[in-house]
Amino acid sequence: MDNILTINALTKNYGRIRALDGFDLEVNKGVVFGLLGPNGSGKTTTLSILLDIVKPDRGSFRWFEEPPSHHSRKRIGATLEYPVFYPYLSAVRNMKIIARIKEKPFGDFEEILKLVGLYDRKDDKFRTYSMGMKQRLAIASALIGNPEVLILDEPTNGLDPQGIADIRNLVIRIANEGKTIILASHLLDEVQKMCSHVAVLKRGKRLFAGPVGEVLVVADTIELAAADMKMLTETLIGFRGVRDIRREGEYLTARLDKGVLPEDVNKYLASQGVVLSHLAMRKRSLEEQFLELLKEGE
């Protein structure tokens, strides 16, 4: 897969606060990448460094396998740069001003406004827009000039469920056009629903990175039962590859170590003469795993 972004050991201090601490990351083309972490974990700092808004103290990054340059920067659109729109100007006028500042062509405005669902309101003044519409205009502005990469910082902040759903669908639509999206969020649910890949950040450190689907199966719990529960328990204790064996009602539960499959447990138990009457996977929610990852990083 083509590499879009490589981050190498980025460190950033604000006075005595270490906002980023040796942060590494790789992002490939076409993914929707979520930077997930609690408030203050360094997400915005990371994005600001990647956009040359903030200088890192140590470390480096490469866009499109090149050192950062004016040219590579033009291939990236971001919502971080446009917190301010002129309230008394329309969406189109605001976009024209942004295009001029960014030295981007005017041509694709209508297409972009259709994509973000603002076409019908394009001539209305910005101040008459709802929060969700303002957020979508910010994304529209980031899309001016057809960038290959789109960077969004907390794209659903302050939105109601409908607004959140609109943004989610928009992100999916933009990703389907082949763009790479990097978004920061402190909301697990948002990352789970929108992103294909995720990096979990805590106090400027990366705790985990990988496909969202893999995070979901990092550590699983299995349920087991056999006619002789006592023998099952004793035998299971002898198996390396499971932890936290517990009795829950009529079942035993155990956590699988990484890379251990339920089949492996079954084979071992069978080899010891234990026949299971029940064996099932119990996937932990990403929520539980996220909280646990944050705990492990303490």
Ligand X SMILES: Nc1ncnc2c1ncn2[C@@H]1O[C@H](COP(=O)(O)OP(=O)(O)OP(=O)(O)O)[C@@H](O)[C@H]1O
Q: Which residues bind ligand X (CB under 6 A)?
A: 14, 17, 19, 37, 39-45, 186
Q: Are 128 and 158 in contact (CB under 8 A)?
A: no
What is the Cα–Cα distance from 166 to 172, expressed in whole angstroms?
A: 10
Q: Kindly give, in sequence order, each residue whose CB lies less than 8 Å from that of residue 249, ignoring residues fewer than 6 positions away.
A: none
Q: Site residues (CB under 5 A) for Mg ion?
A: 43-44
Residue 235's binding partner out of ligand X, Mg ion, none, with CB under 5 to 8 Å set by partner kind: none
Shortest distance (Å) from residue 45 CB to Mg ion: 8
The answer for residues whose C-beta is within 8 angstroms of residue 182's C-beta and 6 or more apart is 5, 27, 33, 35, 47, 50, 149, 150, 151, 152
Q: How far is the CB of 142 from ligand X (least distance, A)?
A: 18
Q: From the CB of 17, what's the least distance to ligand X, in Å? A: 5
Of residues 78, 65, 45, the one with CA closest to residue 205: 45
Output 43 or 136, the one with its CB closest to Mg ion.
Answer: 43
Nearer to ligand X, 153 or 220 (CB): 153
Q: Between 46 and 221, name the residue whose CB sits nearer to ligand X.
A: 46
Nearer to ligand X, 37 or 163 (CB): 37
Least separation in angstroms between residue 56's CB and ligand X is 12
Chosen from ligand X, Mg ion, none, partner binding at 37 (C-beta under 5 to 8 Å by type):
ligand X
CB of 159 to ligand X, least distance (A): 15
